[in-house]
Chains A and B, each alone.
Chain A
């Protein structure tokens, strides 16, 4: 048992380093994809058909193909078109685009769930479309979308592990390195506990909202 703990203590700095990279992917993805998702949702509400078609196609592609494939496309595929990104930037780009699509769908459903009487009252009070959205519709939407949004955010914590495939030194990558080097699987267990801890924190936060 003490052997187990001394091993965990030995690999801990590397695991911690990996967890920080995972959290960085998590945070950057959220910071980019939440506003982008809102923008996509709002643009998707316009009446002009070609714009809607474009937005729907984007969402269809992002939700209809695996995130890992999208990551490979950005990292290995884009250089063919003259765009070369390093591995962590590729993760940011692929994750932000993918999660923005999911968030856009959540935002859109939330916005559409607001009674049309709210728009009519805003209009009757002389409010502009942007005032109506900012002051009336979106604040009401926020409350309703917290449960589906929390689900996606928890999924994102686990999805950060996909970055390991393009050698980003995140948590799972750190665990795999330790396992390969030391030929014991303890590091996987440690990684699992860290993921569980992170998702637990997020679950608790989402319940408080």
Chain B
């Protein structure tokens, strides 16, 4: 079964069309990179999937449950409570980390498992310690975000998203706010779940990484999916002018 079905979604901000008739099906275990210039709609697409933004029309189905459906040409969402339950199946990693600054790395990771999933504290801490160790922060669990470097913050944020045990991980330009020399550590952390059959959608400017980990690459421009295919098709044999132009402009 597909983990995610997106059908004909559009998203308007006022009169600006950020997403224009996007359809996408994601199979379990698939790793999909979304590339494209800034403002092409990559982030907006991810933000619509976990309902940080509400779509204008179309339908989104997560793990077989419709979150939003098209009713008379308008997007109709299931109840707020049902949406909250459903989006727990997705984990979001933000460009600017969005860690909670008044909580330690560990507290950041256990917050939602305890308060939202109602897990016991012991259980949540156990999982959090494993995850933080996995992302290389075993020694920094009790540090506050301000005591972590950018790369460490993002790895803590990845642990926080994984702690809810999501089916689908959404990465919104996870390395764009980082210095080039520390993006590697973050990408390494993303490689493990990618190889362990985690379903992932990654909006990124890291073409090398996209090429390496993706099963499929999607090129977006002006709110459209212009081209999609395997990494080889997209990077080595781009068909559309726009993709060719985009690739030329970034691989100098």
Q: How far is the CA of A140 from the CA of B144 in the complex (A)?
A: 13
Query: A117-B96, A121-B94 in contact; A128/B84 too (CB < 8 A)?
Result: yes
Q: Is the CB of A123 within 8 A of B116?
A: no
B159: Cβ under 8 A from any A Cβ: no
CB pair A136–B116 under 8 Å, yes or no, is no
B113 nearest CB neighbor, chain A only: A125
Within 8 A of B (CB), among A109-135: 115, 117-118, 120-121, 123-128, 131, 135
Q: B50 in the interface, Cβ–Cβ < 8 Å? A: yes
A121 to B100: give the CA distance in the assembly, Å. Answer: 8
Interface residues in B66-101 by Cβ distance below 8 A to A read: 84-85, 87-88, 90-92, 94, 96, 98-101
Instruction: Find the A residue at minimum CB distance from B53.
Output: A120
For the complex, is A139 an interface residue (Cβ under 8 Å from B)?
Answer: yes
Q: Which residues of the other chain, B, contact A131 by a CB distance below 8 angstroms?
A: 115-116
Question: In the complex the two chains form, is A140's CB within 8 Å of B102's CB?
Answer: yes
Evaluate whether A120 and B94 lie within 8 angstroms (CB atoms) in the complex, with A126-B84, A126-B85, A140-B101 already known.
yes
Residue of A nearest to B160 (CB): A125
Within 8 A of A (CB), among B17-35: none
How many angstroms from the CA of A131 to the CA of B50 in the assembled complex?
A: 18
Given contacts A118-B100, A136-B100, A140-B102, contact A124 B52 (CB under 8 A): yes
- Whether B52 pairs with A120 at a CB distance below 8 angstroms is yes
> B101, B102, B116: which contacts A125 (Cβ < 8 A)?
B116
Size of interface on A: residues with Cβ below 8 Å to B: 17
The distance in angstroms between the C-alpha atoms of A117 and B100, with both chains bound, is 10
Q: Point out the residue from A115, A117, A124 that lies within 8 Å of B87, measured CB to CB.
A: A124
Find residues 36-64 in chain B having any chain A CB closer than 8 Å to their own CB: 47, 50-52
Nearest CB in chain A: distance from B115 CB, A: 6
Bound-state CA distance A120–B96 (Å) is: 11
Of all chain B residues, the one with the shortest Cβ separation from A124 is: B92
Q: What residues of chain B lie closer than 8 Å to A124, measured between beta carbons?
A: 50, 52, 87, 90-92, 94, 161
Instruction: For A128, list chain B residues within 8 Å (CB).
Output: 84
Evaluate contact between A126 and B100: CB separation under 8 angstroms.
Answer: no
Q: Which residues of A does B touch, CB under 8 Å?
A: 115, 117-118, 120-121, 123-128, 131, 135-136, 139-140, 143
30 A-B residue pairs with Cβ-Cβ distance under 8 Å, sorted by A, are: A115-B98, A117-B98, A118-B98, A118-B100, A120-B47, A120-B52, A120-B92, A120-B94, A121-B94, A124-B50, A124-B87, A124-B90, A124-B92, A124-B94, A124-B161, A125-B160, A125-B164, A126-B84, A126-B87, A126-B88, A126-B116, A127-B112, A127-B115, A128-B84, A131-B115, A131-B116, A135-B115, A136-B100, A139-B102, A143-B102
9 other A-B residue contacts (CB within 8 Å) besides A121-B92, A123-B87: A120-B98, A123-B51, A124-B52, A124-B94, A126-B85, A126-B112, A126-B116, A136-B100, A140-B100
